Amino acid sequence: MNRRIRLTAVLAVSALGLAATGAVAASGSGKSKDTEADYTPIERFDPLAASSPCVGAGSGRDSNPFVLPERSDEDDTSGYDQVVVAEEGQGGTEDLWDMNTQNEFGKDAGRFVFRTHEVGAAAANDPPRAPGGAQVTVTDLEEDDTEVLAERNDWERFDGIVWTPYGTILAAEETVVQNQRDPNAPQARGGLVYEFYVDRKDPSKLDPRREPQGTATRDDDGTSDVTRDGIRVRPALGAKSHEGMRFDRRGNHYGIAETRGRTTANQTGGIFRFIPDEKNEQGPLARGQLQAFDSPNGQDGQGRWVDLNRTRSQEDADAEAERQRANEYQRPEDVETGESTGRDRNNGGNTLYVALTEGEDEGVLALDLSRKDRPFAYDYVGKQAGNASEPDFDSPDNLALDRKGNLAITEDPGGVPPIKQMGDDIFIASPPSGDDDDDEGGKRRQPADEVERFASIKDCNAEPTGIYFALEGTEKFTEDNEDLKELVTDESLFVNRQHSGQNTDRDQFVSIAPVEEEDEDQEGDDEEQDEKGSGSGSEAEQPGSGSSTGSDDSTDADPSTDADPSTDGGSSTDTGSSTDTGTSTR
């Protein structure tokens, strides 16, 4: 990798705080959660003309799994680069690296990257930590180390993940029918959401003391869990095939059912909102009202939130939404709001973006949430919006906002070589612009302006997953790591290479960042200085080796996870191909 200097943005970033609602304010989370990333198409990068051919990429730090663009600014030599931060097998991690989030506020905010693993459940009689059973893993950017935060044999296909307004983590199962029902919530037929109480002083570990004491009756929160292990199932959020999850500034939770509502009975592929009850002794997400979006034409326009029966939602929220005649969509996947690291520049910052992967309405649907109980849905990206269509833009999946309101969108059309000839892409959609723009809130109910190809994966077995723009302050945790400091920054786009198959079978966690080439004279002076001050060279460190940051005993795993420190596991079995989901396994 050439020596680089990180390109530092010169535009100031405005703070974006959480609204001081009772539950949110009580969490102490009312702090800015911004990224420095600005990936505006045309202005900040020259779009790729085509997807990558299926050339594949290997493993290791410098495997470069993505084709990346040049930058569009005064410096013709600048561009984007990438580094593999971690990969499958390290610290006992299994296959199918899916969604990412950081610890978005609190002590050492931005130091840790958490991810879900979309692995199917292990066999019912398997011993603990047998192959299979979904995981939540964590990468410590300062120690350059990856470990298992939690895993359990009955967990299956963890997909969505979000840092909550309460300083906890939610991870959700993407399954229509569970292979193994949770013994603490046996009423649930579909996938469940789990809340992880991380240690406020060290978020890489669980803190059972934070978890409310449960009861055995299931009266309070739908669970009979009385074990304080730092993990609590949240059936009130609905039993369904979950994927993306986000909160709005009022503290409401949003998600979807990743099903084919327009072609499959008892499924809606619906869009859901959860409003916590005002007083929840078992935690804000223990009880509340789950709702589904409905509009007169069944697709968009002025709509409403339909209340779902609380008991039936804990059994099968998707079927209950169909029973209430909510809108039906064809495989919605991720959702995004301006309450993570990015900023929403539309509808006064009150937009919910929803990726629709299949069907005539394939694209990104936007819901204007400005009016509390009167959401308005409209096409934001795709053929119906008039700004993107197949074959270039195909099967949108994951979403992420940067600080300028640009929406990053990954593709997941499926397929493998030799039938598949080109890699999946990451597109960037810029918010609508005009003379009447409100710099804080942007245009109302208008489609995206430019939609351009930003990156393309070289491995045609794989797909890009878990896009997430790094939190401001991230780079201070990598500034002493020679392998990471230039490419894990406050401007990074984090993304996983999932389903790796060409030249390696190890999934990878990748950081993409803007860089600027040093001029030749300066580079020569630096290299001469390096030669004077360095000894003999050594082989390149493997991702996650941790050798550049200090002693091994500084990253002890949470004893409750019994994390395996082995780094040899790239050939772990893909147990995520369960046949009960009703959806693609990708």
Q: Tell me: the pLDDT tens digits for 187-199?
A: 999 999 999 999 9
For the chain, the straight-line distance linking the first and the last C-alpha, in angstroms and rounded, comes to 31
Q: Identify the pLDDT of residue 7.
A: 33
Q: Can you tell me the mean pLDDT for 224-249?
A: 96
Mean pLDDT of the chain: 85
Q: Identify the pLDDT of residue 129.
A: 64
Q: Can you tell me the mean pLDDT for 117-125?
A: 86
Q: Sorting pLDDT into bands at 50, 70 and 90, what band is 26?
A: very low
Q: Identify the pLDDT of residue 434.
A: 61
Cis omega before residue 208 (within 30°)?
Answer: no
Q: Identify the pLDDT of residue 572.
A: 37
Collect all residues with Cβ–Cβ distance below 8 Å to 553 and sequence separation of at least 6: none
Residue 560 near residue 128 (C-beta atoms within 8 A): no
Q: Can you tell me the mean pLDDT for 144-173?
A: 97
On the question of pLDDT at 345 being above 60, the answer is yes
- Rounded to whole angstroms, the Cα distance separating 510 from 87 reads 9
- Name the more confident of 439 and 175: 175
Q: Identify the pLDDT of residue 574.
A: 41
For CA atoms 516, 520, 524, 525, give the dihedral sign. Answer: negative
Q: Identify the pLDDT of residue 214.
A: 79
Q: Can you tell me the mean pLDDT for 330-353?
A: 97
On the question of pLDDT at 20 being above 70, the answer is no
Q: Sorting pLDDT into bands at 50, 70 and 90, what band is 136?
A: very high
Q: Identify the pLDDT of residue 96.
A: 97
Q: Can you tell me the mean pLDDT for 96-125?
A: 94
Cα–chain-centroid distance for residue 120?
Answer: 19
- Rounded to whole angstroms, the Cα distance separating 243 from 272 reads 12
Backbone angles phi, psi at 313, to 5 degrees: -65, -30
Q: Sorting pLDDT into bands at 50, 70 and 90, what band is 369?
A: very high
Collect all residues with Cβ–Cβ distance below 8 Å to 164 and sequence separation of at least 6: 27, 170, 195, 247, 285
Q: Identify the pLDDT of residue 217.
A: 75
For the chain, list the domains and their CATH numbers: 4-528+542-561 (2.120.10.30)
- Name the more confident of 367 and 128: 367
Q: Can you tell me the mean pLDDT for 67-76?
A: 75
Q: Identify the pLDDT of residue 125.
A: 74
Q: Can you tell me the mean pLDDT for 231-249?
A: 97
**CA diameter of the chain:** 74
On the question of pLDDT at 529 being above 80, the answer is no
What is the three-class DSSP state of 282? coil
Q: Identify the pLDDT of residue 216.
A: 76
- Rounded to whole angstroms, the Cα distance separating 368 from 347 reads 6
316: amino acid identity, one letter? D
- Rounded to whole angstroms, the Cα distance separating 462 from 84 reads 15
Residue 167 near residue 195 (C-beta atoms within 8 A): no
Q: How much of the chain, in percent, has pLDDT values that exceed 70?
A: 80
Q: Identify the pLDDT of residue 534.
A: 37
Q: Identify the pLDDT of residue 122.
A: 84
Q: In the numeric block, which tokens belong to residue 572? A: 């772990």
Q: Can you tell me the mean pLDDT for 555-576?
A: 36
Q: Sorting pLDDT into bands at 50, 70 and 90, what band is 437?
A: very low
Nearest to 312 by CA among 189, 175, 170, 155: 189
Q: Identify the pLDDT of residue 530.
A: 46
Q: Identify the pLDDT of residue 280.
A: 83
On the question of pLDDT at 6 being above 60, the answer is no
DSSP state of 122: P
Q: Can you tell me the mean pLDDT for 504-528?
A: 74
Q: What is the pTM for the complete model shown?
A: 0.84
Backbone angles phi, psi at 519, to 5 degrees: -70, 160
Q: Identify the pLDDT of residue 83.
A: 98
β-strand partners of 422? 53
Q: Write out 461-499 in H/E/C secondary structure.
A: CCEEEEEEECCCCHHHHCCCCCCCCCCCCCCCEEEEEEC
Q: Sorting pLDDT into bands at 50, 70 and 90, what band is 372?
A: confident
Q: How many angstroms separate the Cα of 189 from the Cα of each of 230, 311, 400, 444? A: 24, 12, 30, 39
Cα–chain-centroid distance for residue 396?
Answer: 14
β 97-102/332-336 pair status: unpaired
Nearest to 155 by CA among 112, 126, 113, 198: 126
On the question of pLDDT at 34 being above 80, the answer is yes
Q: How much of the chain, in percent, has pLDDT values that exceed 90?
A: 74
- Note the pLDDT tens digit of each residue in 249-307: 999 999 999 999 999 999 999 999 999 998 888 899 999 999 999 999 999 999 999 99
On the question of pLDDT at 532 being above 90, the answer is no
Q: In the numeric block, which tokens belong to residue 320? A: 């209950």
Q: Can you tell me the mean pLDDT for 166-182?
A: 96
Q: Can you tell me the mean pLDDT for 84-95?
A: 97
Q: How many angstroms separate the Cα of 252 from the Cα of each of 222, 249, 469, 521? A: 19, 7, 22, 55
DSSP state of 106: S
On the question of pLDDT at 167 being above 90, the answer is yes
